[in-house]
Chain A
Amino acid sequence: MALKDLFTKNQTKKKKYATIPTEAAKQDVPEGIMTKCPSCKKIMYTKELLKNHKVCLHCQHHFQMNAGERIESFIDEGSFEEINENMISKNPLQFPGYLEKLEKDRQKSKLNEAIVTGIGTVGGCKVVVAIMDASFRMGSMGSVVGEKITLAIEKADELSVPFIIFTASGGARMQEGAISLMQMAKTSVALKKFSNNGGLIISIMTHPTTGGVSASFASLGDYNFAEPEALIGFAGRRVIEQSIREKLPEDFQTAEFLLKHGQLDAIISRLDLAEKIANILEIHQPGGEITW
């Protein structure tokens, strides 16, 4: 190579590399420095986005959160203590390929199942919290999800503290068949028992909350809340369009749609969530003496 070649750009030989983001990177917040909002298309620093609870700095779009991020965003710092974290699914139907899929998701999400449960404080109030994580099997509910929720409810009952659930799920887990269907009943009977004992139930539906999850514990809060624009519904949009043979409105099955139809107490922005829930918890604290 001649010395002069070092100073000239050899443009014919130089390869150009285009970065093609993977599917996961497109949906999730990429680990890069900058992040593009899928809603308003504006670009912002990822660090700032995370600091802003994964809410777009420009248009308030709520990015999906995993369980770890939710804990960091919602629970008082350092107060969270996970319970039943080692529970994993079996393959009761001997469903072909199920165990492999579970293992793959375990690697990918670093979670043992689609839900994290534990004890922590919110605004200083002790609560039991269950957080579904859609990055594991679409947050679908099988035996483990049902059992961990039930155990969490029972823990709240035992400690006489409120139970808060963040839902994010495509519904019942098909690979566990009717057993997963029965988890709807299991969690509901547990909530009824807790409720009869005076327990406070708060459900916060996040994107997406559908099928068997929306038709059980997600809808059974004393207070039912949702994050803005979250998809919430029983049947899938395409199934409905096929059955009624008409186009559905744009906002169909969004949190806003549900609020309008009387299904929610309120839609709460993630930026205010911890504070507003803390207020509700405070109102439900055993009362002190009224001095007037």
Chain B
Amino acid sequence: MVGELEFERPLIELRKKIAELKEFTLNTDVDLSSEISKLEARLVKLEQDIYENIKPWDRVQIARHPNRPTTLDYISYLFEDFFECHGDRRFADDEAIVGGIAKFKGLPVTVIGHQRGKDTKENIRRNFGMPHPEGYRKAIRLMHQADKFKRPIICFIDTKGAYPGKAAEERGQSEAIAHNLFEMAGLKVPVICVVIGEGGSGGALGLGVGNRIYMLENSTYSVISPEGAAAILWKDAAQAKRAAETMRITAPDLKELGIIDEIIPEIKGGAHRDVKKQAEQIEHTLLATLKELLKLSPEELVEDRYNRFRTIGEFDFINEYAGVK
């Protein structure tokens, strides 16, 4: 199968073996059904073992899977009448971020998300889902529009990071992201963020200041990529696997650290195995969350979002201090 991952190899081999045996029984008179059922039982157990003890690095691989559903994939399943709006009204239309208006079970909403490409050609057009400042400026323009028309906002996060490029710096990548954090804090409508793939640092956070933050089970959210962390910490990008563990970037890690609200379960093997089913899982969460948040007044929504972030951080106090003077 295309896109099988390293850690799934034992499963693939076992499945192959079972298929071979089945074929063999069809073509000959030998009855192997007892062997087959034994192997099938082993397969169930092995699946359980592998997917229940999935390692952070395996999750990184799933999050980066070429067939992993993107923002537009989920939009097509989750919303009706999606109408894409383009451009930041300042400089350009950044296709690394898509956004527009739609209906969620009849309720008008604004949907925004990072957008990777599915193939090389589309990836080049979408800059591999790594936005320039105009992408963030388009996003905040659409969020202000949602605010004006009192539509809830749903953000899908899926980027390796904001694009590190010359033009991006010239046009104020830092300012664009900072501005989004600042302005999202003031939105008087519900903002729900779902990390669906990779949540890469400030580039992810630029769409991430929501009332609720959810992560798909096999998505990641981190301050720096495992490769980047390994290069800095151990001067060796090959140690990315170790960094993925040390940096605590998976959904269960972030839930434990109190950074995200809930984990949205994925189907065995990852969201790419069944987009429709995965979308149903997300729909569940969105529906429940919207029901809850729509009860809040505009002021309460702002306060709720403030408290959501205000409380993140761990610190201590000591008595000894030389003082600055």
Binding site for B on A (CB under 8 A): 67-68, 71-72, 80, 82, 85-90, 92-93, 95-96, 110-112, 116, 143-144, 146-147, 150, 172, 174, 176-186, 188-193, 195-196, 211-212, 214-220, 232-236, 239-240, 243-244, 246, 248, 252-253, 261-263
Contact = CB atoms under 8 A, between A and B. Distances in A.
B317 A183 contact: no
B186 A196 contact: yes
Contacts of A180: 223
A236 B317 CA distance: 33
B10 interface: no
A267 to B, nearest CB: 16
Contact of B169 (A68, A211, A234): A234
A93 B313 contact: no
A178 B314 CA distance: 12
How many residues of B sit at the interface, in one of the four size bands?
35 or more
Given A85-B321, A178-B257, A181-B205, A143 B315 contact: yes
Interface in B241-257: 246-249, 254, 257
B166 A240 contact: yes
A183 B324 CA distance: 24
B221 A212 contact: no
Contact of A87 (B233, B246, B249, B317): B317
Given A86-B318, A112-B321, A185 B209 contact: yes
B257 A179 contact: yes
Given A182-B312, A212-B202, 4 more contacts: A172-B224, A178-B223, A184-B181, A240-B164
Interface in B183-209: 183, 185-186, 201-202, 205-206, 208-209
A186 B318 contact: no
A90 B168 contact: no
B164 to A, nearest CB: 3
22 contacts: A80-B325, A88-B318, A90-B315, A93-B248, A146-B313, A172-B224, A174-B229, A174-B232, A178-B221, A179-B312, A181-B205, A183-B313, A184-B202, A195-B182, A211-B202, A214-B174, A215-B175, A219-B175, A234-B173, A234-B202, A240-B166, A263-B172
Interface of B: 162-166, 168-175, 177-179, 181-183, 185-186, 201-202, 205-206, 208-209, 221-224, 229, 232-233, 246-249, 254, 257, 259, 305-306, 309-310, 312-319, 321-325
Q: Which 4 A-B pairs have the closest CB atoms?
A: A235-B164, A143-B313, A188-B181, A192-B185
B131 to A, nearest CB: 12
Q: Which of A80, A144, A214, A248 has the most CB of B within 10 A?
A: A214
Q: Which of A186, A252, A262 has the most CB of B within 10 A?
A: A186
Contacts of A244: 165-166
B315 A87 contact: yes
A89 B315 contact: yes
Nearest to B258: A179
